[in-house]
Structure 1
Amino acid sequence: MAGLLQALVGASEKAAHIARLCRREEPLFQLLVAEKTGADRNRRFLQDFKTLADVLIQEVIKHDLGKEFPELQGHIHGEESNEFRNGQGETVTVRVCATPGDTAALLLSVLEPERAAAELLAAAVHRDVTLEDAELAGVALSVPPQDLAIWIDPIDSTNEYIAGREDVAPVDGIAPAGLCSALVLIGAYDRRTGCPVLGVINEPFFRRDPPDPQGPRPRRWQGRYHWGVAYGETRLSSLSPPPPCPAPCLVLSRAEGAAVLEALGPLCGHRLRFAAGAGYKMLCVILGLADAYVLSQGSTFAWDACAPHAILRALGGGAVALAGALRARREGDTGDPPELVYNCPVEGAAGAERWANRGGLVAYTHPQHLEAVLAALATVPGL
C-alpha cells in the first residue's frame, strides 16, 4: 500500500504538470474546450465544460496506475468520458499510446494544426516523475491493491480552471473563487465496504513565482500536495489535525438555500464563507481554514469527495451523508451518522447522477462541529 500511495502522489504530480502546461499555452487552451451534454452534464450549471486537460489527465492516471498495479485495472474510475470532439466534429478517443510520438499523433487529431503543443503534451504524458519526499518514502503499510478501487477527479472545479482568475482575494484564507480552487483529486476506497482509505489532493496553482526584478519573464505556477491514509486502525497524513474553534467557521456553496444559511448563521457567529469547487471546500476543512463544509444539495459526486474524505478520516474527521444523518437523528438513533461510501451507485439514476451524493454532505475534522451542524439543521423543513 505504501507503494500505491507513492504512485498516487506521483500520478497527481504528473497531472498537475499537465494542468499547468495547458494553461500556459493560451492559444492552445482556447482549443481545449468542449461543452458537456446529456447524461454527463452537471445539472447545476448552465454550461459545464470538460477540457482536453481533464480527459488527458484522467487517462494518464488510469494508464500509469494500471501499468504499475495490474490488480487495479478495471477499477479506476473517473468523472470524464475519454471521448473528445475535435474541431472537425470527429470523435477522438483520448488514451496514452505506447510511445510519445504515437501519443502526439493522437493528440494532434484534436489539436490540429498545433503540432508543437501536441508534442509538448505528449512529452508531459510520458515523462517520469521523481518524488523527493522523505516522509512519503518512509510510509510502511500493507493492504492488497486488489481490495481497492480508485476515483479520479482530474481537474475539480473545471469552470474556475477555464476562467483562470488569479486575482481573487481570499477571505480569512479561503478564496471565494479563482484558479487556486482547481485541484487534482485521487482517492482509493475499499471495494467491499466503499470506505475511503487513501487520498491525495494536489494544488497545481498553489502560488506563482514572484516578479523578476531583472526584467519580465514568465511567472510560473508552483503546486503542492497533501495525502492521508485511514486503513483499519492506521491514521497517517502529511498534515496535522487543525485545532478546534469554539465558534466554527463554515464554508458553503453560493447556491445554498436561504433556510440553511439562516439556520447555520447563529451557530458560527455568521462566520459563513463561500467558495467554488467541492474538493476545494473540503480542502479548506482539511487545512483548518474552515471547521466544516456543509452542502444541502446533491450536487457533488463520488469523484469530488473520495480523496478529501480519506484525508479527513486520517485527521480524525469524516464526511457524512447529510440527509441520512438528519433522518437518523430525527428517529432517535444515537449511533455514528452514516458516512459517504463510494461503491454504491444511486438506484435508478443514469450517467453522472449514478454517483451523486444525494441529500448533501457535511465534511468535518472535529465531531463536536458535526454535532452542532446537525443540531442546527434538524429543524430546517425539507432537509
Structure 2
Amino acid sequence: MSEVLTALVHASEKSANIARACKQEEALFQLLVQEKKSIEKNKRFVCDFKTLADVLIQEVIKHDLGKKFPGLEDHIFGEESNEFTNSLGEKIKVEVCATEEGTAELLSKVLNGNMTAAELLASIVHCGVSIEDPALEKVAAEIPQDTMALWVDPIDSTFQYIKGYANEKTKDGVYSKGLQCVTILIGVYDRSSGLPIMGVINQPFVTRDPHSLRWSGRYFWGLSYNDINICSLQNDVNAASPAAEDLCEEGSRQKEEMQDGDNDLSAVISTNESDAIKSALSAVRLYYAAGAGYKSLCAVQGFVSVYLLSEDTTFKWDCCAPHAILKSMGGGMVDFRECLKRKSKGNVDELPELIYNTPVNGATGVDRWANKGGLVAYRCRKHLDIIMNLFSDVNP
C-alpha cells in the first residue's frame, strides 16, 4: 500500500503550511504558546512548550489519513494531547470538524475570539495539497493496512519554533539552531515486529524570501519493507537498492571515509552531552545542533556520519520517521548503550535496532515511550562500527 506513503507526504506538506502560517504573524503566534504540564514535559528542559500548531498538525494528520484509510486513525500516536486551554481557562479539545466553518469556530475559541486567524488556519486545514514528485509516483509496494501504525511528532524542536531564529548560518551544512532545525516527523512501523516501514521528514523552514519574508521548505521520504528499499534521495527510484557502502560514497565530504578510517568521520550531538561522550568523539569532526529530528536529518543527508545521543531524552515519535528513511538507505538507528554492552561481550553481529511497538516496562507518562538507551543514527554500518570503537573505555 504505497498510497500510504504518498498520503504521508501530502499530510506533511499541509502540516508545514500550518506551521508556516502560525509563525508568519508574531502577534498571532504569541496567542498559540502554552506550557506543557509536568506529565507531558521532556525532563531535559526546564520549560517545555506545546503550541496550537503542534496540536492542530497532529489532529490534521489523524483526520486526513483516517479519511483516506478508514481505521488507520486508531493506530496513529503522537507526543501531544489534543486539549488546549485559552486565556479564559477554558479547556478546548482541538479537532478537525466536518466543515471549514466548524473548524474555524472551534479554533476561534482557542484564539480568544480571533476569527480572522481562526478562518486562516481552518482554510489551510481543509485545503488540498498539490505535490509533484515523479519518484514518489513510481513507488510500488503492497503493505497490508492492518499491519501498520504511526508515530507523529507534529513539530520537533518546539523551542526553536517559538524562538524563531531566522538568520543562522551553517557549518558544513549543519545548523546549530534556528528555524531550520524544526521538523515534522511522520513514521510508520509494523505493529507486530515494531520495526519502521516508512517515514517522512518535512523541514518547513529552509529558505526565506528576502522581500516577502515568507518561508519555503522541503521534505524527505523513505520506505523499507521486505526487499524494497527506496528513498527520495535516490537518483533512480527504479534502480536496485544501493548498499550502505555505496551510499557512504555520496557527497564530497563522504568519499574518502572508507579509505581513511576515522580521519574524516563526523558526528552531531547535543550541547548537553557529557564530557565523557565529547572526549570519546574528539577524534572525529563534531557538530552541535538542536532537535532530534533535525540531527537525524543531518545523518540522512550525509552532512554527518552519525547522530549520537547517550541520554534517554528522545522518544518513539522522534525516531520512527528518520529511522525508516535511514533503513531504506542501508543504515539504521540503534540503542547506544545496548551496542556498548554487546560490544563488551564480543557480540557485534546483531545490531539492537530501535523498535516502536513496546513501551518501557514500569515507566509512566511520556517516559513509557522513551529511548532509554540513547541512540545512534547512521547511514553506513562501517561508520557505525568505527564510531562505536571510540567508546571502548566508556562504561555502558
Using structure 2 for the length normalisation, give the TM-score. Answer: 0.93
Spell out the pairing of 1:139-154 with structure 2 (5 A cutoff): 139-154=139-154
C-alpha distance in structure 1 between counterparts of 2:114 and 2:125, whole Å? 17
- Check whether the contact 1:242–1:286 (CA below 8 A) recurs between aligned residues: no
Structure 1 residue 167, shift from structure 2 partner: 1.3
C-alpha distance in structure 2 between counterparts of 1:121 and 1:378, whole Å? 52
Report SS of the residue matched to 1:265.
helix
Report SS of the residue matched to 1:70.
coil
Spell out the pairing of 1:115-264 with structure 2 (5 A cutoff): 115-211=115-211, 218-240=212-234, 241-243=247-249, 244=254, 245=257, 246=260, 247-264=264-281
- Check whether the contact 1:242–1:287 (CA below 8 A) recurs between aligned residues: no
Partner residue in 2 for 1:54: 54
C-alpha distance in structure 2 between counterparts of 1:265 and 1:337, whole Å? 24
C-alpha distance in structure 2 between counterparts of 1:378 and 1:20, whole Å? 45
Moved over 4 A (4+): none
C-alpha distance in structure 1 between counterparts of 2:294 and 2:106, whole Å? 32
What is the CA deviation profile of residues 32-70 of structure 1, one whole-angstrom value per residue up to 9, with x for unaligned ones? 010011211000001100000000000000010011111
Partner residue in 2 for 1:319: 333
CA distance 1:203–1:242, change in 2 (3 Å): farther
C-alpha distance in structure 2 between counterparts of 1:255 and 1:133, whole Å? 38
C-alpha distance in structure 1 between counterparts of 2:88 and 2:66, whole Å? 32
C-alpha distance in structure 2 between counterparts of 1:279 and 1:230, whole Å? 19
2:79 is equivalent to residue 79 of structure 1: yes
Match of 1:283 among 297, 313, 323: 297
2:344 is equivalent to residue 330 of structure 1: yes
Which residues of structure 1 form unaligned runs of 5+? 212-217
Partner residue in 1 for 2:353: 339
What is the CA deviation profile of residues 216-250 of structure 1, one whole-angstrom value per residue up to 9, with x for unaligned ones? xx221111111001101111001143524342111
Spell out the pairing of 1:34-53 with structure 2 (5 A cutoff): 34-53=34-53
Structure 1 residue 71, shift from structure 2 partner: 3.4
Aligned partner letter, 1:222: S
C-alpha distance in structure 2 between counterparts of 1:321 and 1:25, whole Å? 40
C-alpha distance in structure 2 between counterparts of 1:328 and 1:242, whole Å? 25
- Check whether the contact 1:285–1:365 (CA below 8 A) recurs between aligned residues: yes
RMSD (Å) for aligned C-alpha atoms: 1.0
What is the CA deviation profile of residues 117-167 of structure 1, one whole-angstrom value per residue up to 9, with x for unaligned ones? 000001111111122212111211111111010000000000000000011
Report SS of the residue matched to 1:285.
helix
- Check whether the contact 1:191–1:343 (CA below 8 A) recurs between aligned residues: yes
Structure 1 residue 191, shift from structure 2 partner: 0.3
2:287 is equivalent to residue 273 of structure 1: yes
Of 65-74 and 277-286, more deviation after overlay is shown by 65-74
Partner residue in 1 for 2:314: 300
What is the CA deviation profile of residues 309-330 of structure 1, one whole-angstrom value per residue up to 9, with x for unaligned ones? 0000011100000111111111
Which residues of structure 2 form unaligned runs of 5+? 235-246
C-alpha distance in structure 2 between counterparts of 1:123 and 1:302, whole Å? 31
Report SS of the residue matched to 1:20.
helix
How many residues in Structure 1 have an aligned counterpart in Structure 2?
A: 373
Using structure 1 for the length normalisation, give the TM-score. Answer: 0.96
C-alpha distance in structure 1 between counterparts of 2:215 and 2:248, whole Å? 27
C-alpha distance in structure 2 between counterparts of 1:88 and 1:378, whole Å? 56
Percentage identity across paired residues of the two chains: 51
